[in-house]
Structures are given as structure tokens and as C-alpha cells.
């Protein structure tokens, strides 16, 4: 069935065609909206969720930690908010994290903000696996710098393991007792470490946001606005520059005209009325699950296999960052639940390929604080629960505040069979097909996880932990969704070109982590936003050509 929306359609039309229509108001969509609005280009963004007020976060509620298990869960299937859509996770050991709201999943965020290294863009050349990106680190460097200044990044210059970069806008998170315990073990082992770059304010930054108060549960949103989430960084600036943001707008499909060019999007408004927003160009910013879902759902007579999918690569090559989680228990009270959850120290000693380890590519250890009492009782991410019964409170007191944790993160190489498709029966509340996730861990990834979990255990034991608990693959760790609309020079093996422009549709762009060719072993948000700014800059320079 053709989904072409003719000019004579009786569907309600939004008032005017916008120059650029962005789908999704998270990390990448917000950055694009700001950049284009600054260039004087008309921008409209459709966001499935709404704005969250500081009172929407559970921090000040007596049962604040219970919300991590319920309405503020990582998993939309558990959370079940009206703006969520369901996922079929039956065929994957790792469940994706997604959050529909202005700011997207940067609300459910710990703010760890590393950059990729130059080697991460040349995996095929260096290691003979996966593919090289069609760009190199130097292409992104000015946009990394611009993004750091825009969002406010805390860190320390001079890391010899990474390329030189401009001065960090803010000082790093202060070293506390937890940090010094980690540093002692790292120095004994002779492993490289460095203060982690963090997307949060450690000092006033001139935009009215509060400085981090070290309350701890960053993954439940930041009611102080200290965390540099997209809704407190890019969106206020974009709106001041004239960008238009439509919330509670559930997009059903991208429409095309008779020439096969994107003509806008059909969406359901907050009242459930289907509308069509016309546009001269469309930018996909829905994350590595949402973008392929929408492209596949936008099949038409001109694009029977899904929009921009002549290669068959839409939805394929899904990459997570499979992680092991390792916690160490210490005799002294380190007040381990205080301080930014994911921004303390990082160890990239094992970042680059060393074939003697039995796998290609590398891994990173993110060294951080731990959780509050309920999550500690439930075992955190290690699933080692505090036993119920008469001894429960004694064991909980023994762990709470005395535990430090390591996220042991591996690079996940792209494989065609790891993919996002449309489920045959599961739909959202508007009847739009839900995504189905099909994913298996490769042997290379399993060996990498085993290696880095063993190193994390070794570090915690060297630090003086008297008990170490681990979970080699955390089921709820699908925090990073990458690779499902990859960039490349060859239209037969990629979806978009080096600018994020679809090979099949010259006025359609992808700016989220769907376009990643490989995933590196580090958190992707800094790279997502740098790529988004780079694409927005290109759109700004070529917008008349794109709209022709």
C-alpha cells in the first residue's frame, strides 16, 4: 500500500511547511535545532513526550528509589508511560533504554562524556574487522569542541591517552574518598587512569543552571539542572532563536512526494488527531531503535522495503555496549552513594586491540560511586541481593556506603543479524507497529567481557575490597543504541552518506547513533552531538539546494 500523502489529502495540515522537520527532541535533535535556528533556518521538531518539570523527578519523594523499578525504569515496557511505546525484547539478552520526553534519554543519564579516539574511525584498516567510517576524528574535532562549550563539560586537560583538546570549560568532579581508593589500586597496578569528562556543572557556567550538589541518583533525572541534558542546554537556546517544538506528537510515518523526496510526517497530536506537518527536509533523531522503526514503517509504493532502505541495511547492525558490572565492598564507610553516579574516573588501559587477550578491539572501565539503600538491597546491577530475613539490616548496613562499582564496557562490533524489525502483532496505543529487537552476543564480545570483568575484579581487590560481586552481562544495560542506519560511501552497504544524508532520499537525514559504523568502547553521547552539529552545519550551508 502506498503511504504517499497527496496535496489534496483531507488530513489536517499544520499551518505552514517548515524548512526542516526534526523527529525527536533528545541529544541529537536538540543540537540540530539549535544549530539550524542559529543559521536562520525554520525548524519544527515533533517530540513524542513532553517537558518534565523538576517536580516530576522522584528525588524528593520518600520512595524515590522505588521509582527506579517502576515509572522511572530504564525499560519502557516496565515504565509504561503514555508517551512510551512497547518493545518486543524476547529475542535479546539486553533490553534497550529509551525515554520519550524533551531531552530524550539524556534525562536517564549519568553524564559520562568521553570522545571517541582516532582509531575508532579506522577499525577495518587497523584491525581487519567491521568497516572504517567515511570520516576521521579530525572531521569531528571542531564539533566536539563546539559541543563541549555549549553543554558545559567538566574535565581535566592533558590526558596522554587521547588527542589534545581545548581547555575543559569546567573543572573535573572533585576527588573524594571513593576516588582515592580507586587511584591507590590503579597506581599499584600501573594502569592508566584519568578524571572522567562529565556533562555536568561543577562550577557556575552563566546560564542560570545550578551547580551539582552531589545528591547521587543522576539516572533518575537531575532536578537541579546541573546535568547537561538536552532540555536544559540546547532547547532553551533553540527556542529563543525561533525553533518550534511540538510535544506529545507521536509520529506514524515520514511521507514522500511523487519524486521520492521526503515531504513531511504524519503524527498524532495530544488529542489523538492525525495531522500532517509538511517540510522541505526531514531529520531523524529518534535513537537507534526509534529511527529504523519509523523508516521501516514509512514503506510506500516508491519505497516498498521501508524509506531509504534500498540497501536493506535499515535496522541491521544493531550495536549495544554490553557491560559487566563489578562491585567491591570495603571495611570503611566511603559514602559511596554520594556524588555524580557515572562521572568520577576512567581507566582506558585496555582500550586498543591486543590480540594476546584473545579478542579484537578494546574496553574501558568506568569507575564510579554506588547506589542508595533500596538499590543496594536489590543488588544494584550485579543481582546479588541482600538476603531477606533476620540478618537483612545487618548485611545492608555492611554494604550501604561501603561499596564502589565499576562499569566494565566493551566494544560491540556490527553484525547483520543483530537488528531492529517491526513486530507482526505488537503495536503502540495508536496502532503503530512496535519494534522487535533481535540480538545475540558474539564470541568476540563474550571474550572481551570476560577479560574486562576480570580486570575490574583485579582492580577492586587491589584497592582493598574484601568482597567482590559481579554480573558479566547486565540485562538492563542497553543504554547505547547504535548502527541501525549506518553511514558510508557505498549506497549498497549503508543508509546515509558521510553527512548523514540518505542515499535514497536527498532531503532526509539521520543524526542519532543509528548512523554509527562502529561503536568504540565508550559512551556515545558526545560523538552523537558532534555528528549532529556537523550535519546541521552542512544542512545550513546547503539548505537551498536541499529544498529545491
Query: Per-residue pLDDT for 383 more than 70?
Result: no
pLDDT of residue 11: 66
Mind listing the pLDDT tens digit for each residue in 41-55?
A: 999 999 999 999 888
Computed over every residue of the chain, the mean pLDDT equals: 92
Q: Is residue 165 part of a domain?
A: yes
Q: Is residue 60 part of a domain?
A: no
> Which residues, at least 6 apart from 243, have a Cβ–Cβ distance to it below 8 Å?
33, 34, 36, 37, 43, 44, 45
pLDDT of residue 15: 65
Dist. CA 51–CA 274, nearest whole Å: 21
Q: Is residue 293 part of a domain?
A: yes
- Domain span at 509: 8-52+68-547
* Mean pLDDT, range 185-205, rounded to an integer: 95
Query: Per-residue pLDDT for 34 more than 60?
Result: yes
pLDDT of residue 509: 98
Task: Please count the other Cβ atoms lying within 10 Å of the Cβ belonging to residue 146.
Answer: 18
Name the domain count of the chain.
Answer: 1
Q: Torsion angle of alpha carbons 139, 115, 437, 267, nearest 10°?
A: -60
Q: Is residue 57 part of a domain?
A: no
Mind listing the pLDDT tens digit for each residue in 167-186?
A: 899 999 989 899 999 999 99
pLDDT of residue 6: 35
Q: Is residue 3 part of a domain?
A: no
Contact 493, 313 (CB under 8 A): yes
pLDDT of residue 109: 86
Sign of CA dihedral 298, 303, 306, 307: negative
If we measure between CA atoms, which residue out of 435, 438, 412 comes closest to residue 92?
438
Dist. CA 232–CA 208, nearest whole Å: 10
pLDDT of residue 307: 97
pLDDT of residue 26: 96
> Which residues, at least 6 apart from 60, have a Cβ–Cβ distance to it below 8 Å?
223
CATH number, position 270:
3.50.50.60
Dist. CA 74–CA 110, nearest whole Å: 12
The confidence band for 4, taking pLDDT boundaries of 50, 70 and 90, is very low
Q: Is residue 2 part of a domain?
A: no
Contact 104, 96 (CB under 8 A): no
* Mean pLDDT, range 277-304, rounded to an integer: 97
Query: Per-residue pLDDT for 548 more than 80?
Result: no
Q: Is residue 63 part of a domain?
A: no
Helices (H) and strands (E) in the chain, counts: 12, 17
Amino acid at each position: 500500500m502506498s503511504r504517499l500523502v497527496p496535496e489534496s489529502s483531507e488530513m489536517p495540515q499544520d499551518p505552514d511547511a517548515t524548512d526542516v522537520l526534526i523527529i525527536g527532541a533528545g541529544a541529537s535533535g536538540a543540537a540540530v535545532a539549535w544549530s539550524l535556528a542559529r543559521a536562520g533556518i525554520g525548524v519544527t521538531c515533533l517530540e513524542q513526550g513532553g517537558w518534565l518539570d523538576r517536580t516530576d523527578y522522584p528525588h524528593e519523594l520518600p520512595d524515590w528509589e522505588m521509582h527506579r523499578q517502576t515509572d522511572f525504569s530504564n525499560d519502557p515496557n516496565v515504565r509504561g508511560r503514555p508517551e512510551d511505546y512497547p518493545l518486543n525484547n524476547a529475542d535479546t539478552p539486553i533490553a534497550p533504554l529509551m525515554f520519550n520526553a524533551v531531552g530524550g534519554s539524556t534525562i536517564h543519564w549519568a553524564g559520562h562524556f568521553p570522545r571517541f579516539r582516532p582509531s575508532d574511525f579506522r577499525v577495518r584498516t587497523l584491525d581487519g574487522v567491521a568497516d572504517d567510517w567515511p570520516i576521521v576524528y579530525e572531521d569531528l574535532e571542531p564539533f566536539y569542541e563546539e559541543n563541549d562549550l555549549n553543554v558545559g563539560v567538566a574535565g581535566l586537560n592533558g590526558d596522554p591517552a587521547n588527542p589534545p583538546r581545548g581547555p575543559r570549560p569546567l573543572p573535573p568532579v572533585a576527588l573524594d574518598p571513593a576516588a582515592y581508593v580507586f587511584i591507590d589500586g590503579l597506581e599499584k597496578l600501573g594502569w592508566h587512569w584519568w578524571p572522567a569528562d562529565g556533562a555536568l556543572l561543577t562550577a557556575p557556567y552563566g546560564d542560570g543552571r545550578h551547580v551539582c550538589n552531589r545528591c547521587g541518583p543522576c539516572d533518575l533525572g537531575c532536578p537541579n539542572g546541573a546535568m547537561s541534558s538536552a532540555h536544559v542546554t540546547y532547547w532553551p537556546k533553540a527556542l529563543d532563536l525561533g525553533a518550534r517544538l511540538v510535544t506529545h506528537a507521536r509520529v506514524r510515518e515520514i511521507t514522500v512526494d511523487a519524486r521520492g523526496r521526503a515531504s513531511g510526517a504524519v503524527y498524532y497530536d495530544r488529542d489523538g488527531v492525525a495531522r500532517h506537518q509538511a517540510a522541505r527536509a526531514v531529520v531523524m533523531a529518534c535513537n537507534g531503535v526509534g529511527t529504523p522503526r519509523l523508516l521501516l514503517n514509512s514503506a510506500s509504493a516508491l519505497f516498498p522495503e521501508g524509506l531509504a532502505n534500498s540497501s536493506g541495511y535499515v535496522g541491521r547492525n544493531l550495536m549495544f555496549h554490553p557491560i559487566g558490572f563489578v562491585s567491591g565492598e570495603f571495611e570503611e564507610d566511603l559514602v559511596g552513594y554520594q556524588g555524580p553516579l557515572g562521572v568520577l574516573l576512567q581507566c582506558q588501559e585496555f582500550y586498543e586491540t591486543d590480540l594476546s587477550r584473545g579478542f579484537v578491539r578494546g574496553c574501558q572501565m568506568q569507575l564510579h560511586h554506588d547506589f542508595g539503600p533500596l538499590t543496594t538491597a536489590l543488588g544494584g546491577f550485579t543481582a546479588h541481593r541482600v538476603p531477606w530475613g533476620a540478618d537483612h539490616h545487618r548485611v545492608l548496613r555492611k554494604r550501604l556506603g561501603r561499596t564502589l562499582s565499576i562499569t566494565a564496557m566493551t566494544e560491540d562490533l556490527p553484525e547483520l543479524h543483530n537488528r531492529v524489525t517491526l513486530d507482526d502483532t505488537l503495536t503502540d496505543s495508536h496502532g503503530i507497529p512496535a519494534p522487535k529487537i533481535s540480538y545475540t552476543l558474539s564470541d568476540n564480545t563474550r571474550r572481551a567481557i570476560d577479560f574486562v570483568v576480570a580486570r575490574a575484579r583485579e582492580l577492586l581487590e587491589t584497592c582493598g575490597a574484601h568482597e567482590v560481586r559481579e554480573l558479566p552481562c547486565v540485562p538492563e544495560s542497553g543504554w547505547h543504541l547504535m548502527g541501525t542506519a549506518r553511514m558510508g560511501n557505498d549506497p549498497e552497504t549503508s543508509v546515509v552518506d558521510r553527512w548523514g544524508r540518505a542515499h535514497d532520499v536527498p532531503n532526509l537525514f539521520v543524526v542519532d547513533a543509528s548512523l554509527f559504523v562502529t561503536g568504540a568502547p565508550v559512551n556515545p553521547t558526545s560523538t552523537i552531538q558532534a555528528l549532529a552539529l556537523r550535519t546541521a552545519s552542512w544542512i545550513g550551508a546547503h539548505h537551498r539546494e536541499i529544498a529545491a
